[in-house]
């Protein structure tokens, strides 16, 4: 396949965090389709990680489950050792894990000054420190190999601001700044670092419930802010991330790409 595929990963081993479901799963599968040398599937739920790894192995691509919480630096470092032993050193890192950490959900609720400060760490831990931890654990592989790709999933909340999600938005904005900085540090090693900024993705629910939700005033008001009037799909994310990891994107670094259907925030 190598040489005939524009979106070619050149046999690199990849780790995708938060890949047990949704966009992370779609990304892991898409990377496997484009000449990845192996895929490590991270999720904090081991069974989900193994299920996706099994799907990838069925495609004929080496894969393993790498269950750990990205907020735990020592766990990330241990995962790197295990991945290197089984698949080889990972030189592609997709920082996809996000939201409010294990089991958490994002729901705008209170003004910042009305929040319980004990909740801040849920957002900062996964969306900012999780990115730090995984980069710290896996970047040495890339420096040694003198090649690599880092793609971090961020949010339009961090690009344009989001009321009642100030801490989440600040964590995502911080991740964008971090990406731009390490891009400058890693360029000499042929490692690119970019971010993909998402708006709302298709909710994970049955077709019946989704059809009902799309008729709601909330969904209609949301869709009115999108030029392409639908929610994003996991496959949309997977396609852009895979391109940024490929040989075709070797001169793209330090950038944040909005993937949002032409989203425009309300005044």
**pLDDT digit string, tens, across residues 230-254:** 888 999 999 999 999 999 999 999 9
Backbone angles phi, psi at 171, to 5 degrees: -65, -45
Inter-residue contact 167 to 99 (CB < 8 Å)? no
pLDDT, tens digit (0-9, with 9 covering 90-100), for 25-72: 999 999 999 999 999 999 999 999 999 999 999 999 999 999 999 999
Q: Catalytic residue at 132?
A: no
One of 129, 168, 231, 263 is an active-site residue; which one?
A: 168
pTM for the full model?
A: 0.93
Predicted confidence band of residue 144 (pLDDT cuts 50, 70, 90): very high
**Burial profile 21-36: b = 16 or more Cβ within 10 angstroms, e = fewer:** bbbbbbbbbbbbbbbb
Q: Where are the domains of the chain?
A: 13-202+233-259
Task: Name the CATH superfamily, with its identifier, for domain 13-202+233-259.
Answer: NAD(P)-binding Rossmann-like Domain (3.40.50.720)
How many percent of the chain have pLDDT more than 90? 71
> What is the spatial distance between Cα 210 and Cα 168, in angstroms, rounded to a whole number?
25
What would the pLDDT profile of 163-174 be if each residue is shown by its tens digit?
889 999 999 999
Mean pLDDT over 134-157 rounds to 97
State which of 112-116, 150-154, 261-265 shows the largest mean pLDDT: 150-154
CA distances from 114 to 109, 163, 201 (A): 10, 13, 28
Compute the mean pLDDT over every residue in the chain, rounded to the nearest whole number: 91
Chain centroid to CA 228: 22
Distance between CA atoms of residues 114 and 198, nearest Å: 27
């Amino acid at each position: 396949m190598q040489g005939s595929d524009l979106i070619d990963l050149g046999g690199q081993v990849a780790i995708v965090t938060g890949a047990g479901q949704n966009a992370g799963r779609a990304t892991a599968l898409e990377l496997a389709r484009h000449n990845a040398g192996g895929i490590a599937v991270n999720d904090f739920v081991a069974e989900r990680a193994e299920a996706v790894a099994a799907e990838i192995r069925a495609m004929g691509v080496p894969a393993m489950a790498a269950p750990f919480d990205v907020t735990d630096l020592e766990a990330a470092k241990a995962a790197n050792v295990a991945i290197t032993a089984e698949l080889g050193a990972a030189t592609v890192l997709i920082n996809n894990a996000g939201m409010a950490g294990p089991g958490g959900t994002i729901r705008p609720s209170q003004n910042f000054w009305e929040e319980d400060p004990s909740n801040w760490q849920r957002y900062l831990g996964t969306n900012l420190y999780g990115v730090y931890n995984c980069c710290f654990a896996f970047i040495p592989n890339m420096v040694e190999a003198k090649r690599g790709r880092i793609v971090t999933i961020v949010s339009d909340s961090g690009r344009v601001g989001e009321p009642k999600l100030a801490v989440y938005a600040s964590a995502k904005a911080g991740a964008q700044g971090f990406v731009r900085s390490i891009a400058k540090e890693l360029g000499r090693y042929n490692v690119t670092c970019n971010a993909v900024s998402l708006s709302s993705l298709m909710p994970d629910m049955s077709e019946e419930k989704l059809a009902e939700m799309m008729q709601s005033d909330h969904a209609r008001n949301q869709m009115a802010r999108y030029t392409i009037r639908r929610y994003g799909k996991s496959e949309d994310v997977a396609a852009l991330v895979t391109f940024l990891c490929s040989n075709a994107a070797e001169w793209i670094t330090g950038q944040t790409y909005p993937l949002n259907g032409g989203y425009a925030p309300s005044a």
